[in-house]
Structure 1
Amino acid sequence: MTESAIQFKTAGAIARITLNRPDRLNSFTAAMHGELHDALASLGDARVVILTGAGRGFCAGQDLNDRAVAPGEAVDLGETVEASWNPLIETLTTIPQPVICAVNGVAAGAGANVALACDIVIAARSAKFIQSFAAIGLIPDSGGSWVLPRLVGQARAMGMALTGEPVAAETAEQWGLIWKCVDDDALTDEAQRIAAKLAALPPLGLAAIKSIIRTTWGRTLPQELELQRDEMRRLGFTQDYREGVAAFLEKRTATFSGR
């Protein structure tokens, strides 16, 4: 039997998804997109997701061999983006669970932008982020052209996109492209540590934080203030808020139910 292109397992409140085509630097095929879609639709009671890659790289983006197009033959790339990449980015950015991406090696093309679509990105010191689209006459898809200038500003976004030069993990951290750079042998433990911390926090509050920060670009300050009021009102009536306050006052560890 062919080994699954996606490894998916849950342990308690943490779901771990591993891109599993290490011989192809975890580049995506249509079948792999389907497997990842199914995994993300099967999170169940998981409160946090860790996304990482098998082998020496995180993801090299699209597997160009998967299209089986003869040299010089035209292909509708928009169809691939619409059917696979756009839904993936939309899912990662809208599911209520925080998604932690542990970038274990090179993240190139759409693979880089999948990583940057996650809520917290940590990278091994040997990892690199490469916007490799210009070399084949394309633009940064999978959200790249939207997220890059918002994370690092227009000058750096333009430089990354036009030159395709690799950005080392340490530089990515300094620029604010990612949350944290760690030693290679600490990556797995650091991702697990953050996931365990988030899994113990109130899930309704985390989902609200994720949503309000991700959508803030489309609101004015007065609109943001009104939304903050509404969300504080909603969350203030939850059992989790009452439990959190009670645990603080009673000097004990809180247990959150997600209600």
Structure 2
Amino acid sequence: MTDLVSYSVSDGVAHIELNRPEVSNAVDLPTAHAFDDAVKEAAADDAVRVVLLTGAGKRFCAGGDVASMVASDGDQSAYLLELAGALDGALQRLAALEKPVVAAVQGAVAGAGLGVMLSCDLVVAAPGTKFVIAYPGVGLTPDCGVSWLLPRAIGQQRALQMALTNRPIDSDRALDWGLVTEVGEQDRAVELAGELAAGSVFAFGQARRLVRGSFESDRASVGRDEAETIAKAVATDDAQRLLTAFTKR
């Protein structure tokens, strides 16, 4: 990777970290491409069983880099179209991984940062973290899947409240609304990633695929997909190991 996004693998966990703490990990075009490269590497590496996503410094992610938009040469519309497309492509790739993804967030999660967070499966938010949609404050509209992901996480009316009032919510309310999984420190996210790495990567990866894909499918199609997938799952080494252990209890 580059200095903009760090990447490492240990004990089956790929750790991807946004690494622009001086700008609250705001994403400019080079960062979006570096993030996409990290996701591709995690997807391609069979040694990776789980992805852990973090942001360096005091804040997880401030969304798109407004300064880079203002400073972009030429057409700002063209720059934003390229930036939003690049980051959204990376997030769709992250959401489509057939490996579970854990996020640890802290400080602030704003704008497209919500899209980054909601592309993960389990989210541990540090106490005091603020969540804000942010776009109205600079006269812009949601991107990077936020208008699709947010109402599915917290419901349409709450999503509209965030989108139209631009008022932040804190970590306790985020937990109550279902925006995050737990409130805790980053160590808890590391612990969760380790627990998942010790389980069945096929089962976890397929479970996230089934749940995330269910919004775009009908009940009968989901049932067929589930039946075909569980038939494949039972033949995996992890399933055979866990089934044998279960029968010996």
Structure-2 residue corresponding to 1:224: 222
Q: Of 186, 189, 197, which residue of structure 2 is paired with 1:188?
A: 186
- 2:81 matched residue in structure 1: 78
Deviations 1:209-247 (A, max 9, x none): 010000001222222222221112221222322221112
Counterpart residue identity of residue 11, structure 1: S
Q: How many residues align?
A: 243
Q: Indicate if the aligned counterparts of 1:130 and 1:160 stay in contact, CA closer than 8 A.
A: yes
Other-structure match for 1:65: 67
Identity between Structure 1 and Structure 2 (%): 33
In structure 2, do the counterparts of structure 1 residues 66 and 22 end up closer, same or farther at CA, with 3 Å as the change threshold? same
Report the counterpart of residue 18 of structure 2 in structure 1: 19
TM-score normalized by structure 1?
A: 0.88
Which residue is 1:158 aligned to? 160
Q: Tell me, in whole angstroms, the C-alpha distance in 1 between the residues paired with 2:76 and 2:14.
A: 39
Instruction: Name the structure with the higher helix share.
Output: 2
| 1:122 and 1:191 in contact (8 A); partners too | yes
2:213 counterpart (215, 239, 242): 215
The alpha-carbon deviation at position 137 of structure 1 amounts to 2.4
Give the secondary structure class of the aligned counterpart of 2:41: coil
Maintained 8 Å contact 1:53/1:103: yes
Distance (whole Å) between structure 1 residues aligned to residue 137 and residue 187 of structure 2: 35
Q: 1:257 — aligned with what?
A: none
Alpha-carbon distance change, 73 to 13 in structure 1, aligned in 2, over 3 angstroms: closer
Q: Is contact 2:105-2:186 (8 Å) kept?
A: no
Question: In the alignment, what sits opposite 1:243?
Answer: 241
- TM-score under structure 2 normalisation? 0.92
Indicate yes or no: 2:49 matched with 1:51: no
Distance in structure 2 (CA, Å) of the matches to 1:152 and 1:176? 6
User: Where does residue 136 of structure 1 map in the other structure?
Assistant: 138
Amino acid paired to 1:190? R
1:198: which partner in 2? 196
8 Å contact kept, 2:94–2:120: yes
Deviation of 1:74 (Å): 4.4
How far did residue 106 of structure 1 move? 0.3
Q: Deviations over 1:96-127 (max 9, x none)?
A: 12111100210111112211111111100111
Closer/same/farther in 2, CA of residues 69 and 239 from structure 1, 3 Å limit: closer
- Which secondary structure does the structure 2 equivalent of 1:226 belong to? helix
| DSSP 3-state at the match of 1:75 | helix
State whether structure 2 residue 121 is matched by structure 1 residue 123.
Answer: no
CA distance in 1, matches of 2:226, 2:30: 41
**Residue identity opposite 2:5 in structure 1:** I
Structure 1 counterpart SS, 2:131:
strand
Q: Is the 8 A contact 2:24 2:59 kept in 1?
A: yes
- The one-letter amino acid paired with 1:166 is P
The residue number in structure 2 matching 1:10 is 9
- Offset at residue 73 of structure 1 (A): 6.5
Distance in 2 (CA, whole Å) between partners of 1:196 and 1:176 is: 23
RMSD: 1.8
Larger Rg: 1
Gaps of 5+ in 2: none
Equivalent residue runs for 1:29-48 within 5 Å: 29-43=28-42, 44=45, 45-48=47-50
Aligned equivalents of 1:81 and 1:25: distance in 2?
A: 18
Amino acid at match of 1:243: R
Q: Is the 2:199–2:238 contact (alpha carbons within 8 Å) kept by the matching residues of 1?
A: no
Gaps of 5+ in 1: 252-259
Residues 69, 75 of structure 1: 8 Å contact kept: no
- Using the alignment, how far apart are the partners of 1:238 and 1:54 within structure 2? 37
Question: CA contact under 8 A between 2:131 and 2:169: conserved in structure 1?
Answer: yes
- One-letter amino acid of the counterpart of residue 102, structure 1: A
Cα distance in structure 1, aligned partners of 2:243 and 2:162 = 45
